[in-house]
Amino acid sequence: LAEVGVERIEAGFPRVSQDDWDAVKLIAEAGLPAEIWGFSRAVRADVEALVELGVAASVIESPISDLKLDALGVSRETMLARIREAVSFAAGNGITVAYFGVDSTRADRAFYDEAYAAAVEAGAAEVVVVDTIGVAGPDAVSALVERTRSLGVPVHFHGHNDFGLATANAIAAARSGARWIHGTINGMGERAGNANIGEVALALRALYGVETNLDLARVRELGERVRELAGYELEPWKPLVGENLFRRESGAVASQFHDPPSIEPYSSELVGAERSIVLGKKSGIDSIRIKLDELGLGVPEEKQQALLAKVKRLGSEKRGLVTDEEFVRLAEAE
């Protein structure tokens, strides 16, 4: 993460388990160029764990929507007191605090203002607009970020992807003045996942001319590593990291393969990917020619249409792509 350019890494929640405690300690002592942040509830014992570990910065969270408060059986007044105590204790012990109001996009606006103002008054150096349940749209996020900037401290945005809007919301937050975007590699996270920081950085650069510190050419490599460690598969058509992004099956598209800007929204080189032709029922004669050249196979032009017909038939029978090995066998038969 640090080598790819992530400037802040939330290393874990020390009080949740011994594993997290050990992880935070190891990462904080690893000498990484990134800032290492902890995570804490607005609970003094959580903050004491951060102090004991020597963590220099932390998100401190508390729920602030009435839905969350009612579910926990906690009043607004009690929560305000918890916010003030936890933040002031952390700040008093030299910890840089970013206050994180859980479910803030569903919070009553007057109480939202009161909670965030209380956190800043208690010593929070930064604050986070939080779409915990992923229910906000870009317009709502933009408005809430602008509202929150009136506190005069840097604003973060933390979004989830339950309606498929996490990237769009993060872009809206950045364009409205959010300084930091929370996210994960591949968008992995609870429920439908979190904002995908690679997607956000790519869109900011390619669509809005806004540079981040992320090395886009290495994000796919990092995404594959995270996928292996986490033990899950990715949709092949997932933006930025999907294996299908620069593979072309359609014959109509293959005929334009020599001119990448005509068929691609951004360069494969930008994100460290390879362009390729794959074969199947949608292939055209240009697909066959390109693949023959790629594999160094010599099939006479007058037999290429017959080869195409065989490729289409096999792709239909398989309900999938024709592998290079299968194509070689078909080509040799011609």
How does pLDDT run across 276-285, given as a tens digit for each residue? 888 888 888 8
Token pair listed for 236 = 């092949």
**Cβ atoms 105, 130 nearer than 8 A:** yes
Residue type, 205: R
pLDDT value of residue 198:
95
pLDDT value of residue 102:
95
pTM of the model: 0.86
Cα separation, 78 vs 311, in Å, equals: 69
Residues facing residue 98 across a β-bridge: 59, 126
pLDDT tens digits, one per residue of 72-109: 999 999 999 999 999 999 999 999 999 999 999 999 99
**Cβ atoms 318, 326 nearer than 8 A:** no
Residue 153's alpha-carbon distances to 12, 116, 213, in angstroms, are 24, 11, 21
Cα separation, 8 vs 35, in Å, equals: 5
SS3 10: strand
Cα separation, 143 vs 244, in Å, equals: 36
Cα separation, 43 vs 85, in Å, equals: 8
CA-based radius of gyration for the chain = 25
Angle at 223 (CA atoms; ends 168, 126), nearest 5 degrees: 50
pLDDT tens digits, one per residue of 200-232: 999 999 999 999 999 999 999 999 999 999 998
pLDDT band at 138 (very low <50, low <70, confident <90, very high): very high
* Average pLDDT along the chain: 92
pLDDT band at 248 (very low <50, low <70, confident <90, very high): confident
Angle at 132 (CA atoms; ends 47, 60), nearest 5 degrees: 15
pLDDT band at 153 (very low <50, low <70, confident <90, very high): very high
Cα separation, 119 vs 99, in Å, equals: 6
